[in-house]
């Protein structure tokens, strides 16, 4: 599996990726957000107020003993099953940072908002956090639909979003830091693993929005180049609970495996109905990219035990750093709580922002962007490093199996962090995907 560990890209290759990103994100700009104006250079003082943005002068105030940051997660709606734990881990990171002295000597003043599982709500709450609450950065979002809705808000206001969830790639914005996996750190390793296991056919099941459709476009390109047959492709609205028709199609297709990009509580209904028709991990395994330890309880262990998931972090990672993280989380929120990849990536995102701000000795957007490249953090998942050009981080790929205790246990690991390649420039079979 050494092919997964792509060599570092040349400067020209990386610039091409950023150029594509510019073209992609430019089309998303909303005139309601105002024209995009670059910030002036920071004075370098931790007490300096953030410089001008498109909304006039930024209202971020760092002259006192605190600095405001925003948490934006779905605390209600179909995505709450996944996003509440992200909010909890962000709060734990903020409490830890404050207890250790804050950031640049300032305590974090957290303002939380509920995205309510609606992309438009995420965009509205992001605007509020930036323009009314005057936060220095926002941490949150889950679905790609929510991120796409927020992207023009952050670009239009020249503010920063730290996005903690694996996603479909083919994007890079100077106003977003992506601390979850991009495609070559999750989906491609999962496909390589299946190929290594002898899988020659797949059935694709996903929620009907940006991430699953783009992910499946990538999966189909991989399959065509690697001798895999796609025996079916079905989508259902977020929150849908009727899967009998789809499950019957899956069963009759008789694929070697199912690649699952369903999100939220739709997974509960899917796996219950999957099991009810006699489909098992042995007869037709399901590889999921949005089910982690947090979701297993809601789905029901009996429905998913033995199934596979592709991530970059599991609670069962056996390192001192992760054990300390898990113990702290359980001590704060209850021994019955579990940790998971998105919440670990969110926790990591706050510490990465802290490291950037302290490297820059400032909080303004331009200074954070300028300080980002090469920033590292000894995260529970392992050491991660920020790529300052595409704003993604290096991550180790893992394939896990759901055990009898509901936790994920590593079946395969890339062994070392994989450099982020959001536009899949290192994969010949992916040429043209970013423009389609």
Q: Kind and range of the H or E element at 409?
A: strand 408-413
Predicted confidence band at 56 (pLDDT cuts at 50, 70, 90)? very low
Burial 284-314 (b: 16+ CB within 10 A, else e): bbbbbbbbbbbbbeebeeebbbebbbbbbbb
pLDDT of residue 22: 38
How does pLDDT run across 379-392, given as a tens digit for each residue?
999 999 999 999 99
The answer to whether the CB of 74 falls within 8 A of the CB of 115 is yes
Ramachandran angles phi, psi of 406, nearest 5°: 85, 0
SS3 per-residue string spanning 166-217: CCCCCCCCCCEEECCCCHHHCHHHHHHHHHHCCCCEEEEEEECCHHHHHHHH
Q: Name the nearest CA neighbour of 114 among 141, 96, 134.
A: 141
- Residue 253: pLDDT over 60: yes
Q: Which of 11-25, 34-48, 142-156, 249-263 has the lowest mean pLDDT?
A: 34-48
CB atoms within 10 A of CB 109: 16
Percent of the chain with pLDDT over 90: 83
- Residue 116: pLDDT over 80: yes
Average pLDDT over residues 154-172: 97
Measured distance CA(388)–CA(11) in Å, rounded: 12
Q: Which residues contact 270 (CB under 8 A, 6 or more apart)?
A: 205, 243, 246, 247, 260, 262
The answer to whether the CB of 390 falls within 8 A of the CB of 373 is no
pLDDT of residue 317: 98
The overall average pLDDT reported for the chain is 88
The answer to whether the CB of 376 falls within 8 A of the CB of 385 is yes
Superfamily for the 43-181+325-395 domain? Response regulator (3.40.50.2300)
- Residue 40: pLDDT over 60: no
Measured distance CA(82)–CA(70) in Å, rounded: 19
**Structure token digits, residue 8:** 């570092």
Measured distance CA(320)–CA(7) in Å, rounded: 29
Q: Which residues contact 385 (CB under 8 A, 6 or more apart)?
A: 374, 375, 376, 393, 394, 417
Measured distance CA(131)–CA(55) in Å, rounded: 8
**Structure token digits, residue 205:** 């099941």
Q: Does the structural domain 184-316+399-435 have CATH classification 3.40.50.720? A: no
Q: Where are the beta strands (DSSP E) in 254-320?
A: 257-261, 286-288, 308-311
Q: What is the dihedral of CA 254, 403, 180, 237, to 10 degrees?
A: 50
Cα–chain center distance at 261: 13
**Structure token digits, residue 22:** 């510019």
Q: Name the nearest CA neighbour of 205 among 166, 167, 169, 231.
A: 231
Residue with tokens 């992916």: 430
pLDDT of residue 32: 29
DSSP state of 342: H
Percent of the chain with pLDDT over 70: 87
pLDDT of residue 434: 80
Higher pLDDT, 46 or 328: 328
Classified as helix, coil or strand, 111 is strand
Q: State how far the alpha carbon of 324 is from the alpha carbons of 32, 146, 168, 396, in Å.
A: 45, 32, 31, 19
- Residue 170: pLDDT over 90: yes
CB atoms within 10 A of CB 370: 16
pLDDT of residue 127: 98
The domains of the chain are located at 43-181+325-395, 184-316+399-435
pLDDT of residue 264: 87
**Structure token digits, residue 326:** 């898990």
Average pLDDT over residues 289-299: 93
Q: Which of 12-21, 27-36, 225-234 has the lowest mean pLDDT?
A: 27-36
Q: Which of 14-23, 89-98, 255-264, 357-366 has the lowest mean pLDDT?
A: 14-23
- Residue 301: pLDDT over 50: yes
Measured distance CA(211)–CA(232) in Å, rounded: 18
- Residue 18: pLDDT over 60: no
Answer whether 43-181+325-395 and 184-316+399-435 agree in fold.
yes
Q: Name the nearest CA neighbour of 357 among 52, 131, 47.
A: 47
- Residue 161: pLDDT over 80: yes
The answer to whether the CB of 131 falls within 8 A of the CB of 58 is no
Q: Kind and range of the H or E element at 66?
A: strand 66-73
Q: Name the nearest CA neighbour of 295 among 279, 315, 277.
A: 315
**Structure token digits, residue 187:** 């989906």
Ramachandran angles phi, psi of 234, nearest 5°: -130, 145
- Residue 29: pLDDT over 50: no
């Amino acid at each position: 599996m050494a092919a997964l560990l792509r060599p570092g890209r040349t400067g020209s290759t990386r610039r091409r990726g950023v150029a594509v990103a510019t073209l992609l994100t430019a089309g998303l700009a909303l005139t309601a957000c105002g024209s995009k104006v670059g910030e002036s250079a920071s004075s370098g003082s931790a007490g300096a107020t953030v410089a001008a943005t498109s909304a006039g002068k930024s209202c971020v105030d760092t002259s006192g003993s605190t600095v405001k940051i925003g948490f934006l997660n779905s605390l209600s709606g179909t995505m709450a099953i996944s996003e509440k734990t992200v909010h909890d881990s962000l709060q734990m990171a903020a409490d830890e940072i404050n207890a250790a002295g804050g950031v640049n000597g300032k305590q974090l003043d957290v303002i939380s908002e509920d995205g309510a599982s609606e992309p438009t709500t995420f965009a509205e709450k992001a605007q509020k956090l930036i323009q009314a609450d005057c936060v220095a950065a926002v941490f949150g979002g889950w679905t790609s639909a929510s991120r796409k809705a927020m992207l023009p808000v952050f670009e239009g206001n020249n503010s920063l979003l730290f996005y903690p969830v694996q996603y479909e790639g083919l994007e890079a914005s100077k106003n977003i830091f992506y601390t979850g996996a991009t495609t070559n750190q999750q989906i491609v390793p999962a496909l390589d693993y299946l190929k290594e296991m002898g899988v020659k056919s797949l059935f694709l099941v996903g929620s009907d929005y940006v991430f699953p459709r783009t992910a499946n476009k990538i999966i189909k390109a991989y399959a065509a180049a690697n001798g895999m047959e796609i025996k079916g492709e079905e989508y259902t609205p977020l929150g849908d609970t009727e899967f009998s028709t789809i499950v019957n199609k899956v069963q009759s297709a008789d694929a070697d495996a199912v690649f699952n990009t369903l999100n939220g509580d739709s997974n509960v209904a899917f796996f219950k109905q999957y099991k009810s028709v006699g489909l098992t991990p042995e007869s037709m395994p399901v590889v999921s990219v949005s089910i982690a330890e947090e979701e297993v309880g809601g789905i029901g262990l009996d429905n998913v035990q033995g199934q596979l998931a592709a991530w970059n972090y599991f609670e069962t990672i056996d390192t001192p750093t992760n054990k300390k993280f898990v113990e702290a989380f359980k001590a704060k929120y209850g021994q019955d709580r579990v940790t998971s990849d998105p919440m670990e990536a969110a926790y990591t995102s706050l510490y990465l922002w802290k490291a950037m701000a302290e490297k820059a000795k400032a909080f303004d957007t331009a200074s954070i962007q300028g300080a980002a490249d090469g920033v590292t953090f000894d995260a529970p998942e392992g050491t991660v490093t920020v790529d300052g050009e595409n704003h993604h981080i290096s991550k180790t790929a893992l394939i896990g199996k759901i055990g009898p205790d509901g936790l994920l246990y590593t079946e395969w690991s890339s062994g070392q962090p994989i450099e982020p390649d959001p536009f899949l420039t290192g994969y010949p079979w992916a040429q043209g995907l970013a423009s389609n």
